[in-house]
Structure 1
Amino acid sequence: LFKSWFVDFDPVRAKAEGRDPALPKHLADLFPDAFQDSELGQIPKGWEVKCIEDVVSCVGGSTPSTKNPEYWEGGTIHWTTPKDLSGRSAPVLIDTERKITPKGLRKIPSGLLPAGTLLLSSRAPVGYLAIAQIPVAVNQGYIAIPPRGELSPMWMLFWADRNMDRIKARAGGTTFQEISKRNFRAMRLIAPACCAARAFDKMAAPIFERIVKCVLESRTVAALRDALLPKLISGELRVKDAIRFLERSSL
């Protein structure tokens, strides 16, 4: 859907050629019926080429001193590094390996970011993507996009995925590649009419919610497996008892 609407401009192209855009009228009406020239080529009439910094807020993070136990011991605040996104099959963050304390949080200029924030790893490596399902603080390995811009983190997730080669091409560094917030903010994109972007968000949200639900269920099943399997192997728990437990858990 994202590619059709915002990359190939299929509804606009169909209307410009006098064809049926194959959309309900309330959606078809969100798209113009002509193109205009721009620095990025032809784009739908009325849409604009903008810098990322003009449509979303981009922030980074930091690491509280690991030498100060007051920042870490007993911490309950989620704090993420790109390692938390390694190996994930879905662009979702539901937990973090490490937690910090309120004192540790005060050492991070961007503070606690709200659930719904898009996370883009900016180094080691460049390119991990996830939308946080929890309030989270970030380290210096991220560019974070909170949900308070003209374009939503959901929309930017799909844009970043489609444009990852461009993002990586702007990275630099000798020891490891890194894209700075400054270079990322300066990137140009085709900003659609707000009504079209909001319509996409509304259609994509239920699908993304199902993905989140599947990730949570998979995590629960994995936790049960890790808890029950050693007991089954050792004989501490019988198979029929494990089955009864799973039935009570509705799994």
Structure 2
Amino acid sequence: MQAKITLKKTPIGEIPEDWEVVKLGDILEEVNLRAKSMEHFDNIPILSLTKNEGLILQKYRFNKKIATGDLSKYKIVKRGWVVYNPYVIWEGAIHVLGKFDIGLVSPVYLVWKPKEAVDATFLDYLLRTKRMLYEYFRLSEGVVQRRRSIKKYRFKDILIPLPPLPEQKKIAEILRTVDKAIEKTDEAIEKTERLKKGLMQRLLTRGIKHKRFKKTELGEIPEEWRVVGLGEIADLRSGGTPSRKKPEYWENGTIPWVKSGELNDGTIYETEEKITEIAVKESSVKMFPKGTLLIALYGATVGKTAILGINATTNQAICAILPKGELFDPSFLQYCIIHSRNRLISQSSGGAQPNIYLYVLKEFKIPLPPLEEQKQIAKILSTIDRRLELLRKRRERLEKVKRGLMRDLLTGRRRTVF
């Protein structure tokens, strides 16, 4: 329920009349407790600070323990205390400990204890608003961006709006409710992704209701299936890029032109750029029909796929996989390539970003069921994909709701009844 708002002018803008403007140093007290001050600290979890997940177990962040054997200089942090990394605080590396009662953190981090007039959860949200991240960046010093840091005295002098404690608690409760919904959605996404991975492994190697199998170079597959190279069932063609020096190729273009960065294992209905009919006639680009399977040959998205939901052209970093007759279902082949992507990339060459050469793609072996079974497998997996799409859209909506609530509640534009 919206309460009546009376505003007052302050150095940080208009805020509700009963809110205060305080310095962080007024509500936070630095704590410098070291592990060596405790008799037994071996069993205290070692925590690492992340921008998005907050303070998490160090071994989960790095998949190993990286702390030195001597933990005596590590700092103690307790539930409700604020921790930040002075070098990347402006990226959001500032959080309140909420997942553990106590932990040890790197001596590089600074630890602060909120005073009684502040709700720790409210503070956790407030300290990572856009305005606060901008303030951290503005006040940080250093020539090299990754080594910019904020001095303690500057941090303590930052002004914040502070509602009465009951309102802080209510704001925190509202935002936490949305966060819990996001967490539940994340769990559902993770569970569905595991289900899809398991189904892909089974369906693309064992098929549907098969009882007889044969050994092949790809492992055991159903007797009715074949092992084929992509070149046996498809023509492979790369695209091109019309000259940027010729405006007539680009201005007022109406023909979709796909770049490799737009491939993300889905379906393409719209492109970032379009070219003209003159470009198609006079350059190396080729028009590919709706339903064509595409794969990125190099670049940041190497190995990624997409199916054209429209007639379109592509750049030279993309290979179009065109069927030789009715030998494969594009959706099935897309799932097959996604499932075998690591094997495909390992057979290719290149440095940090490998290239997939056309001759490698032509010889790349895949298991090929009869066409009808391909369609059944694709239908099962596409059902899972639709579920994932709905969950991801729900998460996007929740994130949008959260951003709006943070913007309104943490500035006093919207009041709560408490």
Shorter-chain TM-score bucket reads 0.5 to 0.7
Letter in 2 for 1:40: L
Per-residue deviation, residues 108-142 of structure 1 (Å, max 9, x unmatched): 55621122222211111212222222211011111
The CA deviation at 1:70 is 1.8
Tell me what 2:229 maps to. 51
* SS in structure 2 at match of 1:198: helix
Per-residue deviation, residues 153-176 of structure 1 (Å, max 9, x unmatched): 211111111111111112224695
Tell me what 2:200 maps to. 2
Q: Distance in 1 between matches of 2:287 and 2:388?
A: 24
* Aligned mate of 1:170, from 347, 368, 376: 347
Letter in 2 for 1:39: E
Given that 1:92 and 1:212 are in contact with CA atoms closer than 8 Å, whether structure 2 keeps it comes out as no
Q: Give the direction of change, closer, same or farther, for the CA distance of 1:121–1:39 in structure 2 (3 Å limit).
A: same
Given that 1:57 and 1:149 are in contact with CA atoms closer than 8 Å, whether structure 2 keeps it comes out as no
With 196-205 and 46-55 compared, the bigger mean Cα shift is at 196-205
Q: Distance in 2 between matches of 1:193 and 1:2?
A: 17
Percent identity of equivalent pairs: 26
Q: Distance in 2 between matches of 1:176 and 1:149?
A: 34
* Aligned mate of 2:216, from 7, 28, 38: 38
Taking only aligned residues, the RMSD between alpha carbons, in angstroms, comes to 3.4
Q: Distance in 1 between matches of 2:285 and 2:391?
A: 30
Tell me what 1:82 maps to. 260
Q: Give the direction of change, closer, same or farther, for the CA distance of 1:149–1:107 in structure 2 (3 Å limit).
A: farther
Q: Distance in 2 between matches of 1:56 and 1:63?
A: 23
Q: Give the direction of change, closer, same or farther, for the CA distance of 1:187–1:54 in structure 2 (3 Å limit).
A: same
Q: Distance in 2 between matches of 1:61 and 1:10?
A: 34
Q: Distance in 1 between matches of 2:273 and 2:207?
A: 44
- Work out whether 1:132 is the aligned partner of 2:300: no
The CA deviation at 1:84 is 2.5
Q: How does 1:1-251 map to 2 (within 5 A)?
A: 1-7=199-205, 9=206, 11=208, 28=209, 31=210, 33-85=211-263, 91-107=266-282, 109=284, 111-125=286-300, 126-146=302-322, 149-173=326-350, 176-204=353-381
* SS in structure 2 at match of 1:42: strand
- Higher RCO (CA < 8 A, seq sep 6+): 1
Given that 1:75 and 1:99 are in contact with CA atoms closer than 8 Å, whether structure 2 keeps it comes out as yes
Q: Distance in 1 between matches of 2:201 and 2:258?
A: 30
The CA deviation at 1:206 is 5.9
Q: Distance in 2 between matches of 1:159 and 1:116?
A: 16
TM-score (norm: length of structure 2): 0.42
Letter in 2 for 1:196: E
The CA deviation at 1:45 is 1.1
Given that 2:207 and 2:377 are in contact with CA atoms closer than 8 Å, whether structure 1 keeps it comes out as no
Given that 1:62 and 1:108 are in contact with CA atoms closer than 8 Å, whether structure 2 keeps it comes out as yes
Q: Give the direction of change, closer, same or farther, for the CA distance of 1:207–1:117 in structure 2 (3 Å limit).
A: farther
Per-residue deviation, residues 164-213 of structure 1 (Å, max 9, x unmatched): 11111122246952111111111111111223113223445566678789
Q: Distance in 2 between matches of 1:91 and 1:127?
A: 13
Name the larger-Rg structure.
2
With 195-204 and 130-139 compared, the bigger mean Cα shift is at 195-204
Letter in 1 for 2:315: N
Q: Distance in 2 between matches of 1:121 and 1:68?
A: 26
TM-score (norm: length of structure 1): 0.67
* SS in structure 2 at match of 1:59: strand
Q: Give the direction of change, closer, same or farther, for the CA distance of 1:109–1:68 in structure 2 (3 Å limit).
A: closer
The CA deviation at 1:3 is 2.5
